[in-house]
A and B are shown apart, each in its own frame.
Chain A
Amino acid sequence: MTTTSVEQWRGVAAETQDEVAASLSLLLRRRTRRLLADLLAPHKRAVWIYTVAIVVSVVASMAIPALVGIGIDRGIPAARRGDDVPLVVVAALIAGCAVLQAVLYRTFVLGTGRIGQRILLELRQRVFRHFQRLSLAFHERYTSGRMISRLTSDMDTISAMLDAGLDTLVTAVLSIVTVGTVLLVLDWPLGLVSLASFVPLLWLSRWYQRRSTAAYRRTREAIALVIVHFTESLRGIRAVQAFRREPRNNQIFGDLNEDYRRTTTTSFQLLTVYWPGIRFIGNLTTAAILLMGGLRVINGDMKVGVLASFVLYLRRFFEPIADVSQFYDSFQGAAAALEKLAGVLDEEPSVPMPPQTMDRLPDGGWPTDEWQGAVEFRGVTFGYRDAAPVLREFDLEVPAGQTVALLGKTGAGKSTIARLLARFYDPVSGEVLVDGVALRSLAEPELRRAVAMVTQESFLFTGSVAENIAFGRPEASRDEIEAAGRAVGLDAVVRRLPNGWDSAVGKNGAKLSAGQRQLIALARAVLADPAVLILDEASSSLDAPTERLVQRALRTVLAGRTALIIAHRLSTVGIADRVLVVDDGRIVEDGTPAQLLAADDGEYAALHRQWLESLA
């Protein structure tokens, strides 16, 4: 089976599976219904208005056959008598109905289209905003491919339902009701028999609903996996090609694609049974009515003409029901997508940011715009996986304005400390504080004025160099942006780019070298101007002269600011007031560079020796 091979390359991870237990199904449906109701609420009035419009339009179109009958029955005899007026009037009425119908229909299409697009936009907004609010831990588990799939493919499905023609639904319901009434009036025993067909119809629909909900749910998950693999392998195309991964990738993609096809086929085939099934119930009822009605006619209980029109009406009764089933199908598809979106929207951020800063300062005041930048880790325990904490009871105090270098073996937990200070994650226990205020109590804008971080992986957005720097502080003026760039020596790079500061960096910065990307990331942080600045190996790809330049710049930039600098090159440590050596989540050495160097058997001294050697 493909699933096993899929699992093998994918590897194992402790992640919540998207499989849905039966008990959960109810909850999911309730959640989805709530979301739908919520989305529709602002449009209730408009929906009613457009429903009235389409009802009138349908009535107008239903009037046309009746008018044709009147024209033939009344207009022609009159015309034979030489009076053309009735015929002309009827024709004019038909034309009038036609125009009325067309105008109202157009109104309806436009109106519901507008509502549908509003809802779609609202949904996109909500989901996107919520994705932004969710914490990194969620994103790591959920993967970007799934996020993309939620924002694209799922939305497509919903928009397909909106396009599927709500008018079919309204028209169908309307004809079912009117024709049903007509049937009962024509001959109530046969009418009741016809209505009895609703029993198997509802049963069949229930069956379809249950099965297709499950099937469409699987479809959504399958397409998400296709998208995950698609985006990931294109993003890593260099490695794919350089290591000749194409055949294996094709195979994996083929499997996932095939899986998607199979789930889609299942949902298709459910409709393949459901739709003809409905028709079958209709045709069976028709045949039965023909038999029963025929016998009643022969027994003299019923007139032939009544039976004839009854049977013909019966068809107009079942055909719309089949139409409804088609609409129901696209509704089910959209419902599955909506269910996924509702799931995302229901996800609670594990690092919730209060909408407003709540905490008072220890002295009773409120944090002002002037952050001092004193940092404290108080008994912090944290691990990415529950089993293995990276930090245990970690304590650290950094007075405002100090520049601290964080050194240590790779995997020691340096970036983890940095991420906790930037509040990418919350500690399992303990507290991280800036100026005595717990990070948890800060609203996002406040938090980012206090702390900003240059991450180990420098990501650039498609756009120009200037735009990417401005990401640090979007309201910055052009001069400030360029000044921040110049501060880290980016002007030398920019001078050689075709459009200077406005040159495109390409997708994910592909048009720049690694060092140039890092410089932009640095400039971004300089522009952001936070009280506490974290640099996580922010200059690892720079050549030595550029790095020296950056350091000189940092010296000015960091004046009066607290800084946490993580670096492996000890040259970077030159500007630090204090060095911390981290090993296995604990601080093993703490002091000024000179103090630590003096302790000959110390780790820092050893690092320094080795580094000097490496320079020779």
Chain B
Amino acid sequence: MPAGTVQTVIAAARGLGSRTLRRYRSLYGFRAYLRPFRWQMWVMFVAAFAMVAASTLVPLVIKAAVNGPIARGDRGAMVPVFLAALGLGIAECALIFVRRYIQSIAVLRVETNIRDDLYRHLQRLAVAFHDQWQTGQLLSRATTDLSSIRRFLGFGAIFLVVNGVQYVAVVVLLVATYPPLGLVVAAMTVPVIWLARRFGNEYSLLSRRMQDQQGDLATAAEEAASGIRVTKAFGRGALLHTQFVRQAEVVRGSALEMVALRGRFWALLELIPNVVMALVVLLGGLAVAHHAMSLGALVAFTTLLVLLQWPIIDIGWILSMAQEAATAADRIHEVFATVPAVADPPSPVPLVDPRGHLRFEHVSFAFPGADEPTLRDIDLDLAPGETLAIVGATGSGKTALTALPARLYDVTAGRITLDGVDIRDLALRDLRSRIATAFEDPVLFSMSVRENLVLGRPDATDAEIEAAIDLAQAGFVHRLPWGLDTRIGEQGLSLSGGQRQRLALARAVLARPSVLVLDDPLSALDVHTEAKVEAALARVLRDTTAILVVHRPSTVALADRVALLEDGRITAIGTHSELMQLPAYAEVLSVDALHSDPDDVAAGASR
């Protein structure tokens, strides 16, 4: 029976322990980042211990000196005493210095390495992930959360151990000094641990909520920053301000709850050792009065007891720090734990002699989380060098279709092959170096024009860059203040709409892919420029396989064949003149606009 009880107790203890440990599991998972710095971590621990020892030693040495040589009037011993005190003092400083110095090297490197890896991982995660996750949330993980982990590794973790050891050592000394009173002191451990556990549980919930809310606040800041033009256009600064403040108030609410919790817990931690002190004075005094204990022992006892105060009080901030770090680790871990939905195959098929034969075989596609597939049963066969135009109404799935060949999303059924190989069997680098896309909203970065252009081919020569600029009629770049070295504003917003679009086109062409995907590439161009670009594009398209999303008949002329996309299905495919027979096709291209809607355009023209 007793054996059973022991087992139950052990099991219960393990249960409690594992629950607490589980909270720190993600944090523990980051230990690999410490491995390269394990020597430094050891030195930091040793230095921390040594410093505590030196600090404890200094008063003892001074006491010994005062009561010894000085009291004796030994003039000759003064210099050694001075040197000893100085030596200990220097040692103490040196130990702090060493610990801090190593901390500034190792711990900051750990933080930097995790941030680097996080960024790398984010770059690998599929577009679908980024559609869903707010940049602000990710950002707050990469900054705020990482610094909590850094703080914990630098201070919290070390002093957790140092203080723990100090606590145990002092308690053992106390029990040795006078066991009955020592046990009374040791009993204080129980409420301290109980408090710490309760605090840990509550604080962990709060800090999770708080850190999430901070991420939301960062998101709000991010949106307000990117949407500044729309905000200005409608004069809605005040509205955004109200919304932002509302969120900031939510954050403040959580922060205040945390403050309240900390205040309560910290105050109790201050209270406990002092109450124990009152008990010790009372019980110890009585013991001394009844000769159960010597007066000297009581004095020593109370002196030692003072040493217990700091380790206990420190538990407060160490635990807060640990809890915040654990939450931060959880949040970062969530990102790391996400497996890139689009990834390299285990053993990629090498792509030899790419010709650009692109086939869609019964391809269906649904956006993650959508109930209905956006594309259904798409069958396309693009012979090498062939140009296919995709025509369809707004929202019919054209952009979705263009995202598939470069594997920005993976098909949900069927397959896409490039030169006979399923694109999922190719290395992503190979695949994406064969396919270049000009997106419908030109994605430009606040870098030099040149860097934006050579995004897909960093080794492009000046002549090639020039040719691409020519083709896209983007000669305006030479008139920018620093030519190709001019930094274009964020998202290219220091350029006009048409200028941005032409840069994006030049970039895609410059990548010299086997398959060129152009999503409505001329929508922001005037008719003159459009005609010139079309003429130049025609040359490139002659020997490049291309998918071309098109809203205008003139661009259709660039294509060998046209596919009509209706509601995610290809309902017709053929040459432009063949499809012209279909009313749906003529309608969507508005070829018959002149006839069908006399009071629209033509009215103005013929008036």
Contact = CB atoms under 8 A, between A and B. Distances in A.
Per CB-CB distance, the 8 closest pairs between chain A and chain B, nearest first, are A283-B89, A410-B498, A11-B448, A544-B590, A515-B394, A614-B554, A113-B259, A98-B274
Contact of A12 (B62, B441, B486): B486
Nearest to A302: B70
B526 A408 contact: yes
A120 interface: yes
Interface residues of B, number: 199
A447 B234 CA distance: 9
A240 B446 CA distance: 13
A365 interface: no
A92 B528 contact: no
A439 to B, nearest CB: 12
Nearest to B84: A287
Contacts of B100: 268-269, 271-272, 275-276
B488 interface: yes
Q: Is the interface of B mostly helix, strand, loop or mixed?
A: helix
Interface string A243-271: 11110111001100110110011001101
A290 B62 contact: yes
B266 interface: yes
A230 to B, nearest CB: 6
Contacts of B439: 238-239, 242
A357 to B, nearest CB: 13
B477 to A, nearest CB: 11
Nearest to B262: A109
B543 interface: no
A187 to B, nearest CB: 13
B96 A279 contact: yes
A248 B136 CA distance: 23
A428 interface: no
A216 B450 CA distance: 34
Interface stretch (A99-107, A203-211, A339-347): A99-107
Given A512-B395, A615-B594, 18 more contacts: A10-B447, A11-B487, A76-B295, A140-B489, A143-B489, A147-B224, A159-B255, A234-B130, A236-B443, A239-B443, A249-B119, A260-B112, A272-B97, A284-B89, A298-B75, A304-B67, A452-B234, A571-B593
Contacts of B600: 548, 551, 571, 574
Q: Looking at chain A, what size class is its interface with the partner chain?
A: 35 or more
A351 to B, nearest CB: 9
B32 interface: no
B184 interface: no
A12 B393 CA distance: 41
Interface in A392-425: 407-411, 415, 422, 424
Chain A CB within 10 Å, residue with most, of B79, B526, B553: B526
Interface in B231-266: 231-241, 244-245, 248-249, 252, 255-256, 259-260, 262-264, 266
Interface string A186-224: 000000000000000000000000000000000000010
Interface string A41-76: 000000000000000000001001101100110011
Nearest to B498: A410
A125 interface: yes
18 contacts: A11-B447, A68-B302, A97-B274, A125-B245, A143-B490, A147-B225, A226-B143, A232-B490, A238-B403, A244-B429, A254-B116, A272-B100, A283-B90, A295-B78, A312-B59, A312-B62, A315-B58, A516-B395
Contact of A156 (B147, B267, B440, B476): B147
Contacts of A286: 58, 62, 85, 89
A84 B281 CA distance: 12
B351 interface: no
A559 interface: no
Chain B CB within 10 Å, residue with most, of A91, A471, A607: A91
